[in-house]
Amino acid sequence: MPTIQSVMPTMVPDKEITRMNGQLGMVQSANMIIAPALGAFLFAFIPIEYLILLDVLGAIIGICILTWVQIPNNEKIDQPMHVLHNTRLGIKQLTNNKGLWYITLIGAVFTLTYMPAASMYPLMTMKYFQGTVSQAGLIEAIYSTGMLIGGTIIGLFGKWQDRMKPVIIAFFLVGIPTGISGILPGNQTGFLWFAALNIIEGIATPFFTTLLMAMIQQSYPAEELGRILGILNSLLNLAGPIGLIFAGPLADVIGIERLFVIAGIGAVICGVVAVLMPITRQYEH
């Protein structure tokens, strides 16, 4: 993914970067809706061991398509690669950009507080709202549909003058519905509200991920972008497993629904911090 993200600015006009990230998000969201439905349909006809082999087939098809792709404006670098040196250089370049560095830290805190709740979505549906496996799958599809709508909006209209505003608003549009989900009644009425709130969360998610990525892609020269994105993605993703370590024990002690309250509060706090720090709030400028 860092490779795709760093190659994109060499292939797309600068003014179209935001819209192209939105369209990439549309494709990914569509996959998240279509693939589970296709898998469930095929499972009725194909044994599971052969169904899993479709992953290999998909990889082969994808690689074959990539062999025909030519990347223009691809600067050839003949120097040998020094991984540790490039990593240190990437960290230095990221931390020297104070606005982006603080955004990265805020994003890491968001991931840390949100991942425990995100991992409990099926259990939230089946145990707390007393739903079925089908309803758990439905929630995933609803959230992905929301992401598809959000990505479509960005892909069609993504030419905002200040992209940090929708990024910050997205913190609140993810955090508030997530927090409310944790205080809904544990019955089918609560499940219906849970489904509606997930549409809002899904629509808001691409505004954080795609708009922020577009700003990062325009913050560094193309030849430096790969190592920056590698470090940035590593820092953001590192918080995820740390949060997941505590997900199970916390759910046992305080209840699954309380994880959603914690995640919602964490996301809102991240939004407030981003608003109160001029260096992040005004990063676009």
Could you tell me where the DSSP H helices lie in 182-255?
188-217, 222-254
Task: Tell me whether residue 53 is in a domain.
Answer: no
> What is residue 73's predicted lDDT score, i.e. its pLDDT?
65
The reported pLDDT for the residue numbered 81 is 62
Evaluate if residue 39 carries a pLDDT over 90.
Answer: no
Residue 171 pLDDT class (50, 70, 90 cuts): very high
pLDDT (tens digit per residue) in 176-230: 999 999 999 989 899 999 999 999 999 998 888 788 888 888 888 777 777 788 8
Task: Indicate whether 249 belongs to any domain.
Answer: yes
Is 119 within the bounds of a domain? yes
Q: Show the tokens assigned to 172.
A: 């609140």
pLDDT of residue 43: 78
Residue bearing tokens 């989900």 = 181
Q: What share of the chain is helix, strand, coil (3-state, %, to 5)?
A: 80, 0, 20
Alpha carbons 115 and 68: distance in angstroms, whole number: 37
Asked whether residue 50 is domain-assigned, the answer is no
pLDDT digits (tens, 9 = 90+) for 62-109: 999 988 888 776 665 555 666 676 777 778 887 888 888 888 888 888
Q: Which residue has the higher pLDDT, 61 or 247?
A: 61
The residue segments making up the domain with residue 266 are 14-42+98-281
Q: Return the pLDDT at 227.
A: 78
CB contact at 8 A, 218 and 9: yes
Q: How far apart are CA 68 and CA 191, in angstroms?
A: 47
Nearest to 265 by CA among 193, 183, 200, 187: 183
The number of domains in the chain is 1
Residue-wise DSSP of 19-82: HHHHHHHHHHHHHHHHHHHHHHHHHTTS-HHHHHHHHHHHHHHHHHHHTT---TT-----SPP-
Please report the pLDDT score of residue 173 as a whole number: 94
Shortest CA distance to 269 belongs to which of 99, 165, 95, 114?
A: 114
What tens digit of pLDDT does each residue of 43-58 get?
778 888 888 888 899 8
Residue 76 in domain: no
- Asked if the structure places residue 91 within a domain, the reply is no
Whether 70 is covered by a domain: the verdict is no
Which CATH number is 27's domain given?
1.20.1250.20
Tens-place pLDDT, residues 259-284: 999 999 999 999 999 999 988 888 87
Contact present, 133 and 126 (Cβ < 8 Å):
yes
Residue 177: its pLDDT value, please? 94
pTM of the model: 0.78
Q: pLDDT tens digits, residue range 122-158?
A: 889 988 998 887 888 888 888 888 888 888 888 777 6
Report yes or no on 93 lying in a domain. Answer: no
Structure-token match 């994808």, residue found: 62
pLDDT of residue 134: 80
